[in-house]
Amino acid sequence: MASNDPDREEEAAAGEDEDTGAQIAPIITLSEVAVTTGEEEEDVLLDLKAKLYRFDKDGNQWKERGTGSVKLLKHTETGKVRLVMRQAKTLKICANHLVSVVPSIKIQEHAGNDKSCVWHASDFADGELKEEMFCIRFGSVENCKKFMEMIESITESPGEREEEESEDAAAAAGLLDKLSVDGSQKAKAAAEAEAKAEQSTK
């Protein structure tokens, strides 16, 4: 039961407000640690929330790999694009593989669900390179289409670059052949001129 004594209430209030003046020093001092994600030298091309599945061949079923943000990252120096997905709370890597490699990955819409798409890739999420079949499900059809279009545009561009490089290589080879032929003709002409000069001096 609560008492109605005003003296006791004042003492209790005074006890709560009283400062002891004690200072507690920390036992351990923590220093700041620089955290690197490996994404520092890369530009984000796409960042969407999704749920990732991988196909388990042994169980012949899809298994959830994680829910989080999937990113397409382009390296600033090499220009290579990779897909990285991390789980939302733990930031554990669910998927980590190159998109702009030859042979390129072929992405297709998942049968029966227009919010999902499927592809094969050599993944490095578990610390070793292994072939995986992935399925990713987005919250909306628009995000799925945006993801598929971005992947397709990235995988098509290396083929175009290869064609341009092969054309450049062919042109350079033609110039080298021409240069070597011209060089041998000049050397032959110089040798003939020396021979004529020797004959005229005799």
- 193 in a structural domain: no
pLDDT at 182 over 60: no
Mean pLDDT, residues 147-162: 74
CA atoms within 13 A on the CB side of 5: 6
Mean pLDDT, residues 172-183: 53
| CATH number, residue 102 | 2.30.29.30
Mean pLDDT, residues 123-143: 90
pLDDT at 180: 47
- 72 in a structural domain: yes
Q: What's the pLDDT tens digit per position in 45-65?
A: 999 999 999 999 899 999 999
pLDDT at 99: 87
pLDDT at 29: 85
Amino acid at 55: F
pLDDT at 173 over 80: no
Nearest to 45 by CA among 80, 78, 77: 80
- How much of the chain exceeds pLDDT 90, in percent? 32
- 103 in a structural domain: yes
pLDDT at 27: 85
State which of 38-47, 61-70, 163-172 shows the largest mean pLDDT.
61-70
Q: How many residues does the chain have?
A: 202
Mean pLDDT, residues 110-134: 88
Residue 67 or 164, more confident: 67
- 119 in a structural domain: yes
- 134 in a structural domain: yes
Range of the domain at 117: 42-157
Rg of the chain (C-alpha set): 35
CA atoms within 13 A on the CB side of 30: 3
pLDDT at 37 over 90: no
Q: In total, how many domains does the chain have?
A: 1
